Structure formats: C-alpha cells, structure tokens
Amino acid sequence: MKTWDRRSFLVGSAAVSAGAAIPLAARADDPMGAWTPLANMPFAVQEIYPAPFRKTADPAANLKPSPLNLIVNAGGLVPDGAFNVTDAVTFYDPAYDAWGYGTPLPEPRHHVALVNNNGLLYAVGGFARDARGGWQMRGQCWRIRDLNGRWETMAPLPHPQAEMAAVSLGGYLHVVGGRAPAGSLNAQWADHIDTDEHWVFDAAANRWLDAAPMPTPRNSAAGCVVNGVLYVIGGRTVNDGNLSTVEVYDPLSDRWAQASPMPKAQGGLAAAVMNGKIYAFGGEYFNPAPGGVFAEAWEYNPDTDKWRAVAAMPRRRHGLGAVSLGNAIYVLGGASGVSSNGTSNALDRFEI
C-alpha cells in the first residue's frame, strides 16, 4: 500500500495543456451544457465521494460562516501498491486551478463518503483492504474542522456500511442504503448484501438515530438534497444489476415517495445540484458482458419531475465524484473501464 506524506504542495494548471483549457461546448444540435478540462488530480483514483469545503479558517476572522470554495477528496482505489487503497486527502482550489494535500485519513479507505455538515467535514464508512481481503466494510465515522488539523473519531455507524448515499439534510448527516455485511464474513465483494437502512447522525449527542428505511434496497446510488428533501438516484443491487429508480425522502414527515425514474439505469454514478436542478453523470454496467461505462449526463427538474439529456461527459467514467461550487459542477476521478480498469485523475467542469 502506498502511503502519501502529509504536505501542501500544489499541482497547478501547468499540468493541463494550453489546448485543454478550451471549453468542450456542445454543438448547436447537441444537448445543453459545456465542459472544461481543468488541472488533473495529483494521482489517479476511483470509488470516491468528494465534498465541498472551505479554506483554512483564519483565527482572527469574525464568526461569519466561511464560503465553500474547495473540493475535497479522501481515500479511494489507486492503480498502484500492493493493496491499492489510499489514505490521502486532496483538495482542489478553483481560484488557482490547483491541487493540494490535507491531513490523511486515520486509515486507508475506499468508498468512504465525505459530507460537509454544519461547517465540518465528515468521513463515513467505506472499505479497508489488506491481505485478508479488499472489501472489509467499516463503520467508522471521523470528522475534521480544518484540512490541516486532526481527524476526530465520532460514534461509528450502528453496523458497517458502504457504497451508500450520504448527505447533509436539515443540519443532520443522513446515510441511506448501500451495502452491508451478509453475515460474519466481511472481506470480499461477495460477502455483502444491499440494505435499505437509513441513519441520521445527531452530532450534539454523538449518536446515530434510525429513520424511515429507503423503499428500494440498493448500493452505488447518488444522493442529492433539493428544496429540503433528499433524492436517491439510480444505483444497483448485488444480484440484479443497475436501477433507474429515484426515491425522495421528506424529513418533516419521515416518509419516502417515488419520483420519475432516470432515462437509463445507471449504477456507480455521481450527481450534484446546480441552480435548483439535479445533474447525474456516468456510471457503469456489467450486463451484457463484458460491460461498459456511461458518458451520459442527465438533468432532473424537481418542479416538473422530468429528466432530460444534457451534454455528455467528454471522458466517460464510473466511481467518480461530482461537487457543486458556485454556478458549476466539478466532476473528478473515476475509471474509464469496467471495475478497476482505466483509473483516472481527470477533473472537468460542467456549466449550463
């Protein structure tokens, strides 16, 4: 396993060629949207759940909330080393088109979910990997106040869980669905089942509470919050493959409802919110063999409950991340081939 030293060097826009700075705009007859390639991540990584965060807090500053102006990734699968899981924490600063490093995770993880909740960055669940197996599900929950600070250990999930939708909703951290151990074995991909469980973290009490379970147990879905409700989009099941299902959770009633399904069934996708609409990107499929990776991107309008195609990703990927900052969505990492093939360090900005 490769260990990344804690350091704060920046990988700048020199990593991107002059020609790559030209936006990849859609043609007149193409769906809406424009893509711009940006500075590559410091290393190729997939199976990530990045989140927005802020620059290091200034102790002399006033108590006003700091703006979200960074994109942070933690952990993931990397294409080198004996067990190819990293503990590295990296961040992208759009103001400089440059990458840097923060304090590493306490332990290497892949599929660890990052969530910005009440100004703190949480890292939840995920998988560990060593000689015993590469899919050892974990329930740990850590959080950090400053990217150069120390990760605090919080109450773990009620049981190990990963590949879930994790969001901040109403000031609480919500973890929904994903995979859970099927029994005492917890080392390989085949040792897990889909779960419908829905947990809510009460930071003041440092404990997890249970909420209404998701109607459709599934993993590798994307979660987004719009207008105070949670959307869980797409995903897949252990036995039956990809889903186009979209389900909506209202925290005020603690109830779920159905929304219009995605135009295609996509698992291992990413999604983010921009200007009140949800945008979903990429994913992979295993059937028919040998499988493949999606380039498609979709827009969902909560007001009309309708989907439409937007400009496809210039680089098809699954196991990627999507983070909204300002009036753009940043799509990062992932893999261009099924499973671990073609792990990428790409970063692209999407705008409408």
Per-residue pLDDT of the chain (352 residues; tens, 9 = 90+): 333 222 232 333 333 333 344 444 445 566 799 999 999 999 999 999 999 999 875 555 555 567 889 999 999 999 976 679 999 999 999 999 999 999 999 999 999 999 999 999 999 999 999 888 999 999 999 999 999 999 999 999 999 999 999 999 999 999 999 999 998 889 998 999 999 999 999 999 999 999 999 999 999 999 999 999 999 999 999 998 999 999 999 999 999 999 999 999 999 999 999 999 999 999 999 999 899 999 999 999 999 999 999 999 999 999 999 999 999 999 999 999 998 899 999 999 999 9
Domain ranges of the chain: 33-57+65-351
pTM of the model: 0.90
The CATH code belonging to domain 33-57+65-351 is: 2.120.10.80
Distances (CA, A) of 224 to 234, 249, 277, 322: 12, 11, 10, 11
